[in-house]
A and B are shown apart, each in its own frame.
Chain A
Amino acid sequence: MLAMNISMMPAAVLNGLMFGAIYALVALGLTLIYGVLHIINFAHGAMLMLALYATFYLFKFAGIDPYLALIIVIPGSYIFGYALYRWGIGKLSHGKDQNILLITLGLSIIFENAAQFFFTADQQTISLSYSYDSFDLGFVYLSYPKVISFVASLVICLMLWWLMATTDLGKAIRAVAKERQGARLVGINVENIYAITYGIGIACLGAAGCLLLPSFYVDPYTGNIFVIVAFTIVVLGGMGSIVGALVGGFIIGITESLGGLFLGESLGQIGISLIFILILVFRPTGLFGAKQ
């Protein structure tokens, strides 16, 4: 039994790596929002679920390929996130962190149940003509959707890193993250930057939704699966660190895949939560986080 499991290890690691890239994308949005706004976006999972539904209905009613839908869903998510923060969360929270936590919790309750109300609680999947085609690497088959999502996630991470590191907008966002008051003094519209950052974070979810749907499913509670995982990655990689989110995503993807292989379905889930608790307790700044 054990020998068989060990022979399956390379395949499990590779599969974990593929799924980890999507985890990284989800976590990227969360870490960006945390790094700049210093808030925990509890509605993250629910918004991923909305992105998955958007992709699903674009495919079902307009016949748009999920990977093509990226160019619609990403800007759509950005606008949704921007508007939601600018005229919703930002206004209602009175600037208190714990209020934002609770408001985003309230939003996730609203989104999940509205989804159940409008889209029913049934699991929905899509099947593409190339869903079951795969690369044969000799020891493992990698399906096209997984490979595409892996590559696309890496490209999006790279683009985000470029945006943050080189553009004026990125500079402004980093300035607000470091020193709110100082940024305001040099003429940066802090409220606007907050809303833009929130929008970019949700846009990452839009991308994740498009890339995830072909190899996954959607129902009103899909997002919950990703909430704890995404928080774990963000804490593991260091709150606010883009590189950390990417590395953390891979580590968690592989851990989950190996945990499932060696501990079984039920007990395998515990690995993520335990890593989360241990990191919070022993190294709350994470692997790549700045020392406070």
Chain B
Amino acid sequence: MSLLKSRTGILVMIGIIVSLFVPVFVANKFYIDILSLILFSAFLGQSWNILGGYAGQFSFGGVIFFGTGAYASSILLTTFGIDPWIGIFAAIAAGALAGLFIGFISFRYGLRGSYFALITLAFSEVFRVIANSVEFTGGGVGIFIEHAPGIKNLQFTDPAGYYYMALVMVIISLAIAFWLERSRFGAYLIAIRENEDAAEALGVNAFRCKIYAIMITGAMGGAAGTFYAQKYLYIDPPIAYSIGMSVEMLLVTIVGGMGTVFGPLIGSFVLHTVNEVARHFIDTPGLSLIVYGVILVAIIGFLPNGLIGLFKSQKKQTGGKSDA
């Protein structure tokens, strides 16, 4: 087991070092841009994974935290002139608060499973309509962020800048998931996922644990919002609270493997690669999403543990043999 652990550790170190030097060796900026997108999507997937994968609370409204974070830092920047370096922490706080609010309402009244999925979907609609109707979000017009490249503004002319920023975020998200798997809190979450009543009978405060989980998810989503706003320099309600992005978060995680450290990263990598390849051959709107849907159905039907399950089940089998 310790060998396995260290082997994973070595692989992670190699992975980090290789990814640090990717922009040096890959000259084509197009690929760097796609890689940033893969990392961004993996980060969002990981945020969903904390609540959905580990704690087993399927949310269909993961985009709420992303949108709230994006608005928080963008409003601070455009209205009050506060740097996104401070803004990103405000976004993290705003995401966590949104998580607290939604978690409190849903978990306080014992909503589980499909009901929780539906209420988060409804909340994302409510947030979208509110953002569309009030003034300080710019309403339906949205918020334009001034183009002012520089590390101070978290804006870069070279795509490699966004690549490194996304890379740092993904490494932090992997560390959070890694910590979760080894902590008592993570064990509580997994216990809640497997059987909430049994976990409570053993003294786990399920309500509090789920609130913490949704706040971590919210905080990560908020940070992703700032990243998006500083990269694309524009947000409006349909972007900030799009159902499509909520779906993408759970999609990359489920395809890669729910409740695993590397699932969202693997899922994001595979799905985006498939998407780009499909687009290369037939560039028709809708086709790549059909492929996404087929992959989702196929994964649920034939690989319920996700792509990462392909490796895990082999390990377990060999482990069992050596024991016997």
Contact = CB atoms under 8 A, between A and B. Distances in A.
Interface in B151-178: none
A9 to B, nearest CB: 23
Contact of A276 (B117, B122, B301): B122
A113 B129 contact: no
Nearest to A110: B293
Contacts of A235: 118
Contacts of A121: 285
Contacts of A220: 286
Contacts of B113: 97-98
Contact of A92 (B243, B250, B287, B300): B300
B109 interface: yes
9 contacts: A91-B301, A105-B247, A113-B290, A113-B293, A232-B122, A267-B133, A277-B123, A281-B106, A284-B115
A187 B57 CA distance: 36
Contact of A277 (B105, B132, B133, B294): B105
A24 to B, nearest CB: 19
Chain A, interface SS category = helix
B237 to A, nearest CB: 10
A106 B118 contact: no
A281 B123 CA distance: 12
A231 B118 contact: yes
A282 B109 contact: yes
Q: Which 10 A-B pairs have the closest CB atoms?
A: A92-B301, A109-B293, A110-B293, A106-B296, A116-B286, A113-B286, A106-B297, A113-B289, A117-B286, A270-B129
Interface residues of B, number: 40
B126 A280 contact: no
A103 B132 CA distance: 31
A10 to B, nearest CB: 27
Given A98-B58, A121-B285, A270 B119 contact: no
A9 B64 CA distance: 35
Given A40-B118, A103-B297, A228-B121, A280 B290 contact: no
Given A117-B286, A270-B130, 18 more contacts: A39-B114, A99-B300, A99-B304, A101-B114, A106-B293, A106-B294, A106-B300, A109-B292, A112-B289, A113-B289, A228-B122, A235-B118, A266-B132, A267-B129, A273-B122, A277-B119, A277-B126, A280-B109
B236 to A, nearest CB: 13
A121 B286 CA distance: 10
A96 to B, nearest CB: 8
A35 to B, nearest CB: 13
Contacts of A99: 300, 304
A282 B109 CA distance: 8
Given A97-B113, A105-B247, A266-B132, A117 B290 contact: yes
A94 B305 CA distance: 13
Interface string A230-274: 011001000000000000000000000000000000110110011
Nearest to A269: B129
A114 interface: yes
B122 A277 contact: yes
Count chain B CB atoms within 10 A of each CB in A98, A115, A277 and give the residue with the most. A277
B83 interface: no
A83 interface: no
Contact of B114 (A40, A103, A276): A40
Contacts of B125: 228, 269-270, 273
Given A121-B285, A270-B129, A281-B105, A101 B117 contact: yes
Contacts of A270: 125-126, 129-130, 133
A280 B58 contact: no
A41 to B, nearest CB: 10
A64 interface: no
A172 interface: no
A273 B115 CA distance: 14
A160 interface: no
Interface in A111-154: 112-117, 121
Contacts of B93: none
